[in-house]
């Protein structure tokens, strides 16, 4: 399709958009009396309008049933998390028994590393990407120190090539080969938070497994954004937050994946709690842990139902639409955004550099050469909600559920006015 940077063309694309009606199923903040142009679904997704009813249902059950809500509410609390497994498994490419919802992302990465980072005298190194998300860096460093190891010796970072803004898969594979039989774990962000790059997870997982290492993925920026096939790729584990592209609310519950080859094992290293023990025996209060046959074995405490209710509401939307339709619109709207950026770049003296490679999802990270924080402030004051990263990068993430092509056009005009003023 030949794009045009005009309002009429953008509106025509919206008319043809099969998902356009879903925009009205979300709440939008307003600036100057108008819905914002929301580019930060990669940080916090908008609230689905149906979410309130899901939360209200729990509150009513609590009021009317009190403790009996665990068993007699319409959606019983004691196994509330099980309702999320089937739709969530479709999103991440897994079997329902391989996924569960619990805790938050960083907590879950720690818990999963208890199981999948078990260093020996010979095999003790962790491979990750250079400048991973800070929380991942802290998690890896603290796990290494917990095992009495030296971070400088145990942590191997794959760097970008000089002058480039992205990682090359061949460099990651080469580093896996170099570390060889000293490699205990590969743990990388599946979609990089800064540049929006989608890693070749299938190829990297295969290489890590062939090297004899466990392989895990931080999918905070991947779930609900890109196509995933965690089971088929053979990853050992993965974890993700639910409040970005999954729209479940600030700081909400995390999901995990554990490959079925690790399930129903009593001898796997694991921090255990009573909600991970076999469901039929949970209230018998036995002194010995009997793990659930699925990923629920990694649960420690009973599910936070008020947190899971918004997640279930969002997953209902994903069930209605399906990842294939979301990805189709994602590719189209991100391409149109890229076109608009290049059109504006040609009209002004400033120079934009898109540092996101072609292997991408919803996000474009844009280096604003010659521009500073003033341009970011201009965008925000005019109703464009973007994310600023030092020194002068803005991250733009047009989530396909609720962003429109007209948003992309309007953004370009506001951006142009901010540069020229």
Q: In terms of domains, do 304 and 358 share one?
A: no
Q: In terms of domains, do 139 and 198 share one?
A: yes
Number of domains in the chain: 2
Residue finishing a domain among 321, 337, 357: 321
Q: In terms of domains, do 328 and 365 share one?
A: yes
Q: The CATH number of the domain where 344 resides is what?
A: 3.90.1150.10
Q: How far apart are CA 273 and CA 291, in angstroms?
A: 10
Q: In terms of domains, do 39 and 182 share one?
A: no
Within-domain flag for 181: yes
Within-domain flag for 112: yes
Phi-psi region of 100 (alpha: psi -120 to 50; beta: other; left: phi over 0): beta
Residue with tokens 């937050």: 241
Instruction: Read off the pLDDT of residues 351-365 as tens digits, 9 standing for 90 and up.
Output: 789 999 999 999 999
Which residue spans within 39-162 are E strands per DSSP? 99-102, 125-129, 155-158
Within-domain flag for 1: no
Query: Confidence band (pLDDT; 50, 70, 90) for 42?
Result: very high
Q: Are 254 and 244 in contact (CB under 8 A)?
A: no
Q: In terms of domains, do 76 and 40 share one?
A: no
Within-domain flag for 19: yes
**What is the SS3 assignment for 257?**
strand
pLDDT of residue 281: 87
Instruction: Read off the pLDDT of residues 261-310 as tens digits, 9 standing for 90 and up.
Output: 999 999 999 999 999 999 988 888 999 999 999 999 999 999 999 999 99
Q: In terms of domains, do 317 and 328 share one?
A: no
Within-domain flag for 300: yes
Within-domain flag for 2: no
Q: The CATH number of the domain where 279 resides is what?
A: 3.40.640.10
Quick one: DSSP state of residue 48? B
Q: Are 363 and 397 in contact (CB under 8 A)?
A: yes
Q: In terms of domains, do 151 and 197 share one?
A: yes
Lay out the sheet containing 364-369: strands in order across.
351-354, 364-369, 393-396, 387-389
Instruction: Read off the pLDDT of residues 45-101 as tens digits, 9 standing for 90 and up.
Output: 999 999 999 999 999 999 999 999 999 999 999 999 999 999 999 999 999 999 999
Q: In terms of domains, do 20 and 66 share one?
A: no
> Can you give the pTM of this predicted structure?
0.96
Q: In terms of domains, do 161 and 277 share one?
A: yes
Tokens of 41: 């679904």
Q: In terms of domains, do 362 and 415 share one?
A: yes
Within-domain flag for 76: yes
pLDDT of residue 65: 98
Instruction: Read off the pLDDT of residues 365-375 as tens digits, 9 standing for 90 and up.
Output: 999 877 778 88
Within-domain flag for 192: yes
Q: Are 77 and 309 in contact (CB under 8 A)?
A: no
Q: In terms of domains, do 221 and 336 share one?
A: no
Residue finishing a domain among 321, 338, 362: 321
Q: In terms of domains, do 273 and 371 share one?
A: no
Residue finishing a domain among 265, 297, 321: 321
List the domain range (segments joined by +) for residue 341.
7-47+322-420
């Amino acid at each position: 399709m030949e794009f045009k940077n005009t309002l009429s063309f953008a509106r025509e694309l919206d008319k043809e958009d099969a998902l356009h009606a879903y925009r009205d199923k979300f709440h939008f903040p307003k600036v100057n009396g108008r819905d914002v142009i929301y580019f930060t679904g990669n940080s916090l997704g908008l609230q689905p309008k149906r979410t309130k009813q899901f939360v209200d249902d729990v509150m009513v059950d609590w009021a009317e049933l009190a403790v009996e809500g665990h068993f007699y509410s319409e959606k019983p609390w004691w196994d509330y998390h099980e309702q999320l497994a089937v739709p969530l498994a479709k999103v991440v490419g897994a079997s329902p028994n391989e996924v569960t919802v619990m805790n938050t992302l960083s907590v879950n990465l720690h818990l999963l590393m208890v199981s999948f980072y078990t260093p020996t005298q010979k095999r003790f190194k962790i491979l990750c990407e250079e400048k991973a998300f800070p929380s991942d860096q802290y998690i890896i460093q603290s796990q290494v120190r917990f095992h009495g190891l030296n971070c400088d010796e145990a942590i191997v970072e794959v760097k970008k090539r000089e002058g480039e803004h992205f990682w090359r898969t061949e460099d990651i594979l080469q580093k896996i080969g170099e570390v060889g039989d000293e490699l205990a774990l590969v743990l990388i962000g599946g979609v990089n938070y800064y540049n929006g790059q989608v890693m070749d997870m299938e190829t990297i997982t295969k290489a890590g497994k062939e090297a004899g290492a466990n392989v895990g993925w931080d999918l905070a920026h991947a779930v609900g954004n890109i196509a995933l096939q965690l089971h088929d790729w053979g990853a050992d584990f993965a974890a993700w937050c639910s409040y970005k592209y999954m729209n479940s609310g600030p700081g909400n519950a995390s999901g995990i994946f554990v490959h079925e080859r690790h399930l129903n094992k009593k001898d796997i290293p694991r921090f255990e709690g009573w909600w991970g023990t076999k469901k039929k025996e949970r209230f018998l209060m036995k002194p010995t842990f009997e793990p659930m046959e699925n990923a629920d074995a990694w649960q420690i405490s009973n599910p936070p139902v008020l947190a899971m209710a918004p997640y279930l509401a969002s997953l209902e939307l994903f069930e209605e639409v399906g990842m294939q339709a979301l990805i189709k619109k994602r590719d189209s709207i991100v391409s149109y955004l890229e076109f608009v950026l290049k059109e504006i770049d040609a009209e002004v003296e400033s120079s934009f550099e898109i540092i996101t490679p072609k292997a991408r999802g919803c996000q474009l990270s844009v280096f604003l050469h010659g521009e500073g924080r003033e341009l970011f402030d201009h965008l925000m004051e005019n109703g464009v909600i973007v994310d600023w990263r030092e020194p002068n990068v803005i991250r733009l993430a047009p989530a396909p559920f609720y962003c429109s092509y007209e948003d992309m056009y309007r953004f370009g005009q506001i951006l142009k006015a901010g540069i020229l003023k």
